[in-house]
Structure formats: C-alpha cells, structure tokens
Structure 1
Amino acid sequence: MTLNVQFLTLWMMFVSGLALGVLFDGFRVLAGQLRVPRWTQPVTDLLYWSLATILVFRILYWSNHGQVRLFVFIGLLIGVVIYFTSLSKAVISVMHYLIRTVKALFRFLVKTVETVVVKPIIGLYRLFILFLGFLAALAIFLYRIVLQCLYPFWKLLIWLTRPIWRPLQQHLRMPRWLARIGGWFERMWVWLRRWF
C-alpha cells in the first residue's frame, strides 16, 4: 500500500467519522421531531449502526480495497471527535431549520391546494345543490299552477259527463275493488290539493 493510498484512506476515514456524526445527529433530531416512542430506540440504534457500518466499509473498500489498518480507526476517531466538539451544534441547528422549512412548505402547499382545488369544488357542489333546490321549488310551483289551472277543467269535465255516467252508475254495480281504487284516487286528489 503506497503512502498516497494511506493518506487517501486516512482522509476518507476522517470524512467518514464526520459523516457518522451527522448521521447520528440526524437520527436524534428526526426521532425528536417525529416523537418516536422510547421502546423503538433499540431499533433505531440497530438501523444507525447498520447504515454506519455499510457506509464505512463501502468507503474503505473504495479507498484501499477494504484493508483494515490502525490509521483507519485513527481517522474515524479524529473525524468523530472533531465533529462532536465543533460541528454538532451547527449541524443540529441547520437540521432544525431545514425541518421547519419543510413543515412550512408543506403547510403552504396544503393551504394552496385547499384554496385552489378543495374550496372551489366545495363551492361548486354547494352551488349545484342550491341550483337543484331552485329547480325543485320551481317544479313544485309549476305543478301547483298546473293543478290549479286544470281543476276547473276537471270540474267542467265531470259536470259535462255527468249525464253519461250517472245513469250507468245506477244500472251498473261497480265492483268493490274498483270502488276502493276510486276512493284511493279521490283521497290522493284531496291530499295533493291540500299540499299543492
């Protein structure tokens, strides 16, 4: 292993140590923001260490084909120590700022969709219901007018046809079921006149 490869590996392990710190703080901030229950901490720890192991060994394999030497651990340790002593607070602040920005953007998008899409649809639905109510009221009004206009003609028709059906009624006996149907129609007519 040449000196250049060793320095490259040391530098990459230093960067990996910084990345491990950022990843650790990222997990902490997200767990705090999402209010993850306490009992899930072993699962998140396992997830963190799995991601950290994969990250470190991928970088190690890329930099020196996976050879583990003492300077690999020294580079990791220096990166982690420098990160937690000088960069951790700034990175956490940036993460909080990014989360607040994403939340504000999400709220803005929800408000925009509500204003541009949902409220017009609700307004159109209410307008449609109002229009249907207007049509129903107009239909009832026209129905009442037609009933009131036809009532004199109905009375006139009964009066004109009385000489025809009066003698027939006296000579022909109407079946009971037909009389019941006639009584039902008469009651319906009275009911319709009362309501309309």
Structure 2
Amino acid sequence: MTLTVQFETLVSMVAMGILFGALLDTYQRFLKRPNRSRIIAFFTDIMFWCSFGLLIFYCLYRVNFGEIRLYIFLALLCGYSAYQALFKSLYLKLLEQTILIIVNIFLFLKRCFYFLIILPIKIIIKIVLVFITFIGKILLFLAKTTIYLLLFIGKIIFSPIVFIWRFFPAGVRKKAADLYEKLAGFFLMIKNKIMNTVKRWKK
C-alpha cells in the first residue's frame, strides 16, 4: 500500500472507532439490558457485533481493498478511546435530546391524526346514528298510531255488523268466529312485534 492509502486507512479506522463508540452507546440506550431477557440480549449482541464487523470490512474494502494490518486495530482502539474521552458525554446528551424531539413529534402527529381524522369520523358516525334513530322512532310511532287508528275505525264499522250478526245461524257464526280468532291472532302478533321493536329503540 502507498502512504496515501495507509493514511486514509488510518483515518478511516479512527473514524470507525469513534463511530463504534457512538453506535454501542445508542445500542445500549435502546436495548435497556436490565429489562431484557438474557436470550434476547444474547442474540441482539451477536447481530450488533456482526453488523459492525461487516461495516468495518466494507470500509476497509473501499479504502485499501480489504487489506488488514496491525495498525488498523490500533487505530480502531484509538478512535474508541477518543470517543470515550472527548465525545461520549456530548453524544449522549445529543442522543437524549434527539429521542425527546422525535417522541414529541410523534405525539404531536398522533394528536393531529386523532383530532383531524379520527374525531371527525366519530362525530359524523354519531350524528348519522342519532338521525337514523330519530327517523326510526318517528316511523315506528306512525306505524303504531296507524294500527290503533285502523283498529278503532274497524270497531266502529263492525259494531253494527256484530249486532246484526247475532241473528245469523249458529253454524255460520261458528265458522266466522274461527276466522275472526285467526285474524285477531295474526294482528296481535304484528302488534307485539311492533311494540317490542319500539321498546328496543327506546333503550
């Protein structure tokens, strides 16, 4: 390798050491190891180290085509030490502020979504349901009133017929009485259904 490539490799590995310190603190911040089981922590640790190892190899490949020298590991160690001494506290404060900003933005967007989309939909649905309930109650009231009115008119119309009916032969009256009972049972069933429906709507 030429001196230029070696210098670029050295600088790149120092930068990777600093990046490793930042990524490690970020990983530990989000992992929250005391709250995680050992199995999950074990697998996430393996994924983290493998991912960072691939990242280092990719960086080396771009700089010096993947040639490994002893000073590469020393440069990584120097970069990590520089991060611990100079940048760790600043980065952790910046990380917490960034997390806080992202959380606040998420909560703001969540509230906007609720008040601009969810809440209007709920209000519209409630209005439609109230309107449908009101129309249904009116229709049921009209149906109930119509049935009572028809029964009242029927009584008025059929009262003279009932009086005259007494002079008909007993056989004819018996057949008519059977037919009347069937019709009365049919109308009573309809009346009960309407009353039950009205009670449910009132609830």
- Whether the TM-score (by the shorter chain) exceeds 0.5 is yes
Q: TM-score with structure 1 length normalisation?
A: 0.83
Structure 2 stretches lacking a partner, 5+ long:
199-203
Question: Which runs of 5 or more residues in structure 1 are unaligned?
Answer: none
Task: Describe the shift of the 1:95–1:34 C-alpha distance in structure 2 as closer, same or farther (beyond 3 A).
Answer: farther
Q: How does 1:141-180 map to 2 (within 5 A)?
A: 141-162=141-162, 170-172=170-172, 173-174=174-175, 178=179
Q: 1:169 to 1:121 in 2, by over 3 A?
A: farther
Match of 2:114 in 1: 114
1:127 and 2:127 equivalent? yes
Q: 1:82 to 1:149 in 2, by over 3 A?
A: same
Counterpart in 2 of 1:184? 185
Aligned equivalents of 1:115 and 1:127: distance in 2? 17
**Cα 1:78–1:111, aligned 2, differ >3 Å: closer, same or farther?**
same
C-alpha separation between the residues in 1 aligned to 2:65 and 2:129?
Answer: 72
CA distance in 1 between counterparts of 2:115 and 2:129 reads 21
Query: What secondary structure sits across from 1:28 in the alignment?
Result: helix
Cα pair 1:29 1:92 within 8 Å, conserved: no
CA distance in 1: counterparts of 2:98 and 2:43, whole angstroms:
25
**Partners of 2:159 and 2:191 in 1: how far apart?**
18
Q: TM-score, normalised by structure 2?
A: 0.81
SS in 2 for 1:174: helix
Aligned partners of 1:110 and 1:69: how far apart in 2? 51
Separation (CA, whole Å) in 1 of partners of 2:33 and 2:96: 9
Which has the higher mean CA deviation after the structures are superposed, 142-151 or 129-138? Answer: 142-151
Which one-letter code corresponds to 1:31 in the other structure? L
Do 1:14 and 1:79's aligned partners in 2 also have CA atoms closer than 8 Å? yes
Distance 1:191 1:46 in 2: 72
Would the aligned equivalents of 1:15 and 1:79 in 2 still touch at CA under 8 Å? yes
CA RMSD of aligned residues (A): 3.2
- Secondary structure of 1:17 counterpart: helix
Give me the whole-angstrom Cα distance separating, in 2, the residues matched to 1:190 and 1:61.
88
% identity of equivalent residues: 24
Alignment-mate amino acid for residue 21 of structure 2: G
Shift of 1:165: 5.4
Aligned residues of 1:14 and 1:76 also touching (Cα < 8 A): yes
What SS is found at the alignment partner of 2:32? helix
Q: 1:42-76: CA deviations, max 9, x gaps?
A: 22221221011111111111111111112211211
Deviation at 1:152, TM superposition (A): 3.6
